Every structure is written in C-alpha cells, then in structure tokens.
C-alpha cells in the first residue's frame, strides 16, 4: 500500500470506477502481474471491466511513471507497481516470475545470498535506455 490512488487524484487523473479498480489491484501487490492477471483481479472487484480498459489504464500509469513495464523475453509484459524506488529484478527463466531485489555494491558482482530468494542465479544483464540520434 503506497497510496497510489491518492497520488493519481493529486495529479488530476480523471477517476473512473475502472481506473480506480486497476490502481487498487496494483497498489499493494508485491509480485509483477501481467495485463491479463490485472484484468482477472479487477474483474473480481468490478465484473464488467473489459480487457481493453485495463490495457488503457496500464498504459497511462506507465506514461505517468507510476508503474513500470518489465519485459520478460517473449512472454506477456509485466507491470511493476514499485516504479518510484530504484531496484533490480530477478527473473525466473522457467515461469517468468519476477522478484524485486535491492543489491548494494556492484550490480554485476554476485547477488548476495540473502537477496536470491532461493533462485539459482545464472547471470546478470544491464540495459541502458534512451533515444538514439535518429529518434532524439
């Protein structure tokens, strides 16, 4: 719980029952859900909500910087409600599960044991994002 709704209202985000439900589903989640999982949970709170609306709302939360999109090699995108504080990801190559980790020190050094959550870590990768000269 981090008062995502409060921040959204404060920023003048037009509030509808659908958007509120999507925000409620994300806020307080510790795992990283796919759009379809967000929809499934939203349906429990608001049975009529459509998938398209969930995609719309997620896209906007990402634009607003409140939620981060995490790509996981071919699988469906996952949404990280913890976009405001820096952290890294531990991704399961088997099922796509993602956990947040907060290593200190060199990110490419071995992940500390207590940060592995039982994972067998096979590697780390760093990606820099930005705009290339043609797109800037």
Partner DNA sequence: TTAGTTGCAAAGGCTTTGCACGCGC
Partner DNA sequence: GCGCGTGCAAAGCCTTTGCAACTAA
**Footprint of DNA on this chain (CB under 7 A)?**
14-19, 34-36, 46, 48-53, 55-57, 59, 74-77
CA–CA separation, 21 and 43 (whole Å): 9
Q: Is 30 in the site for a copy of itself (CB under 8 A)?
A: no
Q: What is the closest distance, in whole angstroms, from the C-beta atom of residue 101 to DNA in the complex?
A: 23
Q: Which is nearer to DNA, 77 or 84 (CB)?
A: 77
CA–CA separation, 88 and 79 (whole Å): 14
Could you give the C-alpha distances from 90 to 10, 19, 110, 124, in angstroms and in order?
Answer: 32, 29, 12, 9
17 binds, among a copy of itself, DNA, none (CB under 5 to 8 A by kind): DNA
Q: Which is nearer to DNA, 93 or 108 (CB)?
A: 93
Interacting span for a copy of itself (CB under 8 A) from 5-13, 26-34, 37-45, 107-115: 107-115
Tokens 């207590």 locate to 114
Tokens 């509808």 locate to 16
44 binds, among a copy of itself, DNA, none (CB under 5 to 8 A by kind): none
Tokens 């999507």 locate to 22
Q: Which is nearer to a copy of itself, 48 or 128 (CB)?
A: 128
CA angle, 21 then 23 then 51, to 5°? 60
CA–CA separation, 80 and 27 (whole Å): 10
Q: Would you tell me which residues interact with a copy of itself (CB under 8 A)?
A: 69, 71-74, 77, 88-95, 97, 99, 101, 106-108, 111, 116-136
């Amino acid at each position: 719980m981090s008062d995502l709704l409060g921040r959204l209202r404060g920023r003048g985000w037009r509030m509808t029952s659908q958007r509120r439900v999507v925000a409620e589903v994300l806020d307080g989640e510790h795992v990283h859900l796919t759009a379809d999982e967000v929809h499934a949970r939203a349906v429990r709170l608001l049975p009529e909500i459509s998938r398209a609306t969930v995609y719309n709302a997620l896209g906007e939360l990402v634009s607003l910087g409140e939620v981060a999109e995490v790509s996981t090699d071919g699988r469906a995108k996952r949404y990280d409600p913890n976009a405001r504080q820096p952290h890294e990801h531990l991704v399961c190559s088997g099922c796509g599960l993602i956990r947040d980790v907060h290593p200190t020190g060199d990110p490419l050094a071995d992940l500390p044991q207590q940060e592995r959550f039982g994972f067998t870590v096979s590697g780390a990768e760093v990606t820099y994002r930005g705009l290339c000269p043609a797109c800037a």
